[in-house]
Amino acid sequence: MSKTVTIRLSNEDYRAILTVAKHERRPISNFITHRVMEAIANMNPVDDAEMKEILSDEKVMKSIEHGHKQFAQRKGRFV
């Protein structure tokens, strides 16, 4: 089910978003949703094929698990 979200925009931001949304022939809500979802998708630096390769590599997975355990025990340091 869809949810309604209220956001506060300055008049300047609203006009800028409206201009681009109109240029793309989208309603403002669709434009904002599209751009936010696009940004979220771009946050993942690993594509599906690469992730599958990582998950299938036992040596890499053991190393990740070891690092996770050390982190949970607060051992080591972040660099």
Residues 39 and 55 in one domain: no
Residues 51 and 23 in one domain: no
Residues 4 and 36 in one domain: yes
Interval 13-25: pLDDT, tens: 999 999 999 999 9
Residues 34 and 52 in one domain: no
Structure tokens at 61: 């997975």
Rounded distance between C-alpha atoms, residue 17 and residue 31, angstroms: 8
Compute the chain's Rg from CA coordinates.
21
Residues 38 and 50 in one domain: no
Residues 63 and 27 in one domain: no
Expressed as residue numbers, the domain containing 26 is 1-43
Residues 31 and 57 in one domain: no
Interval 60-79: pLDDT, tens: 999 999 989 998 888 877 66
Residues 25 and 39 in one domain: yes
pTM of the model: 0.55
Rounded distance between C-alpha atoms, residue 7 and residue 14, angstroms: 10
